[in-house]
């Protein structure tokens, strides 16, 4: 056994023991005794496990027992059994999900050829860092498994964990192993250096097993025959208070083109400016990007990444070109203008809920499951809102008032929506949610989310054409939309 493989196994053992030690579900002696009994039952072994007086010592013995005891006929392996028992005692807890991933890694390191274990760190770093949209990952898994698998288990949340999970899946006779096909497809999303390295590692066993030409043909078939006539582009503009200059702000931006990959490109920063110059600075950023990137048939969407204290900035009403006194507004001159939450981007505690709701939105784009808050002065309003926003069926929320200083309910609703994972939040920037406003928003959301942003832009343009004073104009001008895609993070 090579030294690298033993180091990987030692790391897996340590992470597994650490996870059990910090697991709140196993806090009492009675809980630990029940846990041990359930694990032995799951392994179909009634004895052979040494008992220890300290929890950590007991878990070390349990890990050794699970990793060295072969599974009974028809039973699961030891680490998977540990994960299943933790999930039984505390469904969905972080420790059970981690244990499932460690079980997959343990099986992988014992199964894969030496080319992979010799380059384990490189593989993990490359596949952990690459960001592929969830829908694309599911499609890659379906293709790699000949459609035997169309979804991923709950614990598989990265390309790396997908790869490890697929190592444990059966291979159809005379077919490329699912993990090998998935790794080749995932390499397309990597930078050139990592792509070359991973394909070289993958190709050596593929050639030995006479699958090299099959991989090459599959890769060629994935390449589009021609570039699409139009493509999506995103300009993320982050505005935040300057750390040492009160009253001044920093403006940073990232550009993303679907033709060049799935991620935002490197950040560019503008000099700090006072609040009064924000519109001019943003106008300059947009002009600069259009000058350098605009000679292609692309749809440029604007995403304003804002902290909570600035989330109600009326960015869609800012002029397209401040210098020329343009009557064109950002919200009517671009295919989409949305806000994003800087606080949620930075707080990883909220990302699990966020991804779950985004996944539901992507899987059910025609859903109209929306939580709509109605203004209320009842003392029970905050508790009721918090409970109703936690409903996993919803993917969008409409606030009862704007989330700004002096509007406690709006701020509470917005923060709760963020931490419970809502990718879409809508509100009126200047007033409470009226019956008329809720009717308009309800109509916009009723057709689902597949083309929601173009519908909102069309509504803004139609409302602007009706002229000031009409109800539609007031709603269209002050309609705020948070649209937060966890697969594209401008950081």
Parse the chain into domains and list their residue ranges: 3-111, 114-222, 231-483
Provide the pLDDT for residue 211: 79
Global pTM value: 0.57
Question: 477 — phi, psi (to 5°)?
Answer: -70, -30
Q: What share of the chain is helix, strand, coil (3-state, %, to 5)?
A: 55, 10, 35
Residue 3: how many other CB atoms lie within 10 Å: 9
> Which two structure tokens, joined as six digits, stand for 120?
């384990």
Provide the pLDDT for residue 1: 47
3-class DSSP state of 276 = helix
The secondary structure of residue 318, as a DSSP letter, is S
The secondary structure of residue 306, as a DSSP letter, is E
Provide the pLDDT for residue 346: 94
- What is the residue-wise DSSP string for 137-158? HHHHHHHHTTTS--S--TT--S
> Using CA atoms, how far apart are residues 449 and 367, in angstroms rounded to an integer?
7
Provide the pLDDT for residue 115: 87
> Using CA atoms, how far apart are residues 205 and 228, in angstroms rounded to an integer?
35
Provide the pLDDT for residue 228: 47
Residues with pLDDT less than 70, the chain: 1-3, 46-47, 71-75, 220-231, 259-261, 294-298, 325-326, 367-368
Q: Enumerate the β-bridge partners of residue 240.
A: 250
- Describe the crossing of helices 78-89 and 3-21 by its angle, rounded to 10 degrees: 20
């Amino acid at each position: 056994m090579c030294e690298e493989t033993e180091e990987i196994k030692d790391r897996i053992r340590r992470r597994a023991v650490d996870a059990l030690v910090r697991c709140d579900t196993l806090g009492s002696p009675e809980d630990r005794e029940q846990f041990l009994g359930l694990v032995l039952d799951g392994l179909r072994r009634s004895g052979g496990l040494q008992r220890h007086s300290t929890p950590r010592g007991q878990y070390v013995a349990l890990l050794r027992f699970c990793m060295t005891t072969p599974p009974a006929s028809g039973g699961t392996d030891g680490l998977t059994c540990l994960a299943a028992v933790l999930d039984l005692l505390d469904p969905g807890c972080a420790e059970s999900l981690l244990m499932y991933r460690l079980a997959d890694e343990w099986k992988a390191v014992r199964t894969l050829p030496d080319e992979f274990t010799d380059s384990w760190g490189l593989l993990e770093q490359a596949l952990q860092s690459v960001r592929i949209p969830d829908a694309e990952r599911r499609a890659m898994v379906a293709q790699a498994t000949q459609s035997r698998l169309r979804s991923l288990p709950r614990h598989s949340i990265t390309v790396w964990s997908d790869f490890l999970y697929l190592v444990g899946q059966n291979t159809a006779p005379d077919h490329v192993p699912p993990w090998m096909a998935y790794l080749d497809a995932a390499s397309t999303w990597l930078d050139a250096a990592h792509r070359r390295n991973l394909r070289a590692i993958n190709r050596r066993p593929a050639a030995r097993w006479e699958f090299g030409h099959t991989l090459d043909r599959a890769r060629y078939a994935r390449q589009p025959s021609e570039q699409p006539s139009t493509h999506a582009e995103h300009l993320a503009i982050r505005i935040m208070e300057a750390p040492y200059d009160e009253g001044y702000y920093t403006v940073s931006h990232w550009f993303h083109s679907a033709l060049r990959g799935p991620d935002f490109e490197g950040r560019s920063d503008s000099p700090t400016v006072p609040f009064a110059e924000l519109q001019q600075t943003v106008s300059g950023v947009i002009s600069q990007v259009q000058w350098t990137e605009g000679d292609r048939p692309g749809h440029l969407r604007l995403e304003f990444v804002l902290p909570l204290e600035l989330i109600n900035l009326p960015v869609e009403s800012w002029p397209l070109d401040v210098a020329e006194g343009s009557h064109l507004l950002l919200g009517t001159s671009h295919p989409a203008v949305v806000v994003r939450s800087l606080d949620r981007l930075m707080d990883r505690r909220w990302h699990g809920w966020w991804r779950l709701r985004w996944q539901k939105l992507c899987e059910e784009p025609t859903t109209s499951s929306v939580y709509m808050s109605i203004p209320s002065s009842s003392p029970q309003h905050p508790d009721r809102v918090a409970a109703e926003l936690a409903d996993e069926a919803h993917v969008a929320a409409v606030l009862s008032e704007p989330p700004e200083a002096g509007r406690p309910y709006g701020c509470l609703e917005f923060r709760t929506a963020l931490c419970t994972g809502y990718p879409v939040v809508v509100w009126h920037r200047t007033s409470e949610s009226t019956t008329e406003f809720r009717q308009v928003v309800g109509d916009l959301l009723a057709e689902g989310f597949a083309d929601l942003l173009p519908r909102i832009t069309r509504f803004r343009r139609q409302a602007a054409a009706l002229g000031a004073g009409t109800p539609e104009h007031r709603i269209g001008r002050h309609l705020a939309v948070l649209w937060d895609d966890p697969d594209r993070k401008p950081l």
